[in-house]
């Protein structure tokens, strides 16, 4: 028996995914998912069932995430063809009827689980005092307002193989956020008391507005350069 990090009760902890398994799985006709990491000494590998951790939550608490995870997976993986494509400077996709509560709590749940995880894949995600805030919001089922853990999404339009890289921290005009790779999609969650800079604030998930998903041309991203560099580095070491 151990202590569940969410409910804080003594319980048997279960193998839980930080990022829902469905985001690691792809159609059988497509190339297999591969985890790319720039962590020294860790080799890229196939991960058809994703990364799980048995040090985070009990079964009851894991079930409390089910509605959030299922909603996000269904929205992005099964309904993305329903999003409206718009071009205003850059391509974006818009979905009008988004359940703010479920999608925002999905983002907070991924963020909190990553911070609470002991798995090396999530070692860069450390929320400090924000971890308590995220945990309390999950216990209450409270998504907060748009500014609290402000969340944005993007999509890779032209990736030939899903590259699931380590989630990592980044800064937008010194405002701290974390980036999570969800197969073809990317989630960004602000972990900072300061507001998002413009124009990012306009693309953030809000209770009363449509969901915006920004297009990311994968070939133009530094992510691809990182992935290529890591793959070449490990190939040379193996050779």
d(CA 41, CA 191): 29
pLDDT digits (tens, 9 = 90+) for 117-131: 999 989 999 999 999
pLDDT digits (tens, 9 = 90+) for 155-198: 987 654 456 678 999 998 999 999 998 988 999 999 999 999 88
Cα–Cα distances (Å) from 48 to 24, 31, 231, in that order, read 6, 11, 19
Minimal CA–CA distance to 149: which of 120, 106, 94?
Answer: 106
Residue ranges of the alpha helices (H) in 142-187?
Answer: none
What are the phi and psi torsion angles at 37 (to 5°)?
-135, 145
What's the mean per-residue pLDDT of the chain?
Answer: 82
Tokens found for residue 18 = 């930080």
Q: What is the pLDDT of residue 95?
A: 94
Strand partners, 85: 93
Minimal CA–CA distance to 125: which of 87, 167, 90, 159?
Answer: 167
Is pLDDT above 90 for 149?
yes
Q: What is the pLDDT of residue 165?
A: 77
d(CA 165, CA 227): 8
d(CA 213, CA 93): 5
Give the range of the structural domain holding residue 132, as residue numbers without chain letter. Answer: 2-238
Strand partners, 46: 34
Q: What is the pLDDT of residue 84?
A: 93
Cα–Cα distances (Å) from 58 to 68, 71, 120, 125, 234, in that order, read 17, 21, 20, 21, 37
Q: How many domains does the chain have?
A: 1
pLDDT digits (tens, 9 = 90+) for 79-111: 999 999 987 666 789 999 999 999 999 999 999
Q: What is the pLDDT of residue 188?
A: 96
d(CA 132, CA 147): 17
* Average pLDDT of span 1-21: 94
């Amino acid at each position: 028996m151990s202590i569940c990090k969410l409910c804080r009760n003594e319980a048997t902890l279960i193998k839980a995914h930080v990022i829902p398994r469905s985001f690691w799985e792809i159609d059988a006709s497509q190339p297999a998912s591969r985890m790319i990491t720039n962590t020294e000494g860790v080799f890229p590998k196939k991960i058809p069932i994703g990364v799980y951790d048995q040090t985070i939550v009990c079964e009851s608490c894991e079930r409390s995430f089910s509605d959030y995870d299922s909603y996000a997976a269904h929205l992005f993986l099964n309904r993305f063809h329903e999003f409206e494509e718009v071009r205003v400077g850059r391509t974006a996709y818009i979905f009008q009827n988004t359940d703010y509560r479920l999608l925002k709590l999905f983002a907070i749940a991924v963020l909190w689980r990553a911070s609470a995880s002991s798995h090396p894949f999530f070692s860069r995600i450390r929320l400090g005092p924000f971890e308590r805030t995220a945990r309390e919001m999950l216990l209450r089922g409270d998504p907060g307002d748009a500014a609290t853990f402000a969340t944005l999404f993007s999509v890779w339009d032209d990736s030939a193989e899903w590259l699931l890289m380590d989630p990592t921290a980044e800064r937008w005009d010194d405002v701290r956020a974390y980036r999570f790779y969800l197969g073809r999609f990317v989630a960004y969650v602000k972990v900072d008391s300061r507001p998002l800079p413009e124009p990012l604030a306009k693309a953030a998930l809000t209770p009363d507005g449509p969901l915006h998903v920004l297009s990311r041309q994968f070939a133009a991203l530094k992510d691809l350069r990182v992935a290529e560099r890591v793959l070449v580095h490990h190939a040379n070491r193996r050779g």
